[in-house]
Amino acid sequence: MNVLRSIAAVVVSYAVVFVIVWLSDPLLAHLYPGQYVPDKVPPAFLLRASTFIFALASIIGGGLCVRIAPSRPGLHLMILFFIGEIVGAVFAMKNWATWPHWYSIIWLAIWPVGLWLGGLAKKRQTRQKLERLGAA
């Protein structure tokens, strides 16, 4: 059962980040019609907005992964990190000639930081719960 939960921790966390980012595209397209369209690089302010959404999604994904993991949350975060970096590198190579280079590089750099921050936040919450239980 722990093996299934370990797999779920990584897969569900990655899927949540993916869905948040995927759903942000239509939202940005709705908010900025004509600026966020297929086969056209969006203006820099929209790329920054998309990057901000990705950063938040990464933090959520890291916290979720640590919460679901049955044990060794750091290992689960590391596996999630490697999967995301591999997928991100493939997308960076695919879009290197058409999208600004900073965009791909920033996303590859934000991913591990976001996961770490999400995991750290969850670790802090767990420590505070344990301190409250110990004080009771």
Q: Which domain holds residue 15?
A: 2-135
The pLDDT, as a whole number, for residue 128 is: 67
- The count of domains in the chain is 1
Residue-level pLDDT at 11: 97
pLDDT of residue 35: 87
Q: Are 94 and 31 in contact (CB under 8 A)?
A: no
Q: What is the pLDDT of residue 64?
A: 95
Say which range, 30-34, 51-55, 127-131, has the weakest mean pLDDT: 127-131
Is residue 130 pLDDT above 80, yes or no? no
pLDDT at 4 over 70: yes
DSSP state of 42: P
SS3 of 13-40: HHHHHHHHHHHHHHHHHHHCCCCCCCCC
pLDDT of residue 40: 84
d(CA 121, CA 65): 12
Q: What is the pTM of this model?
A: 0.87
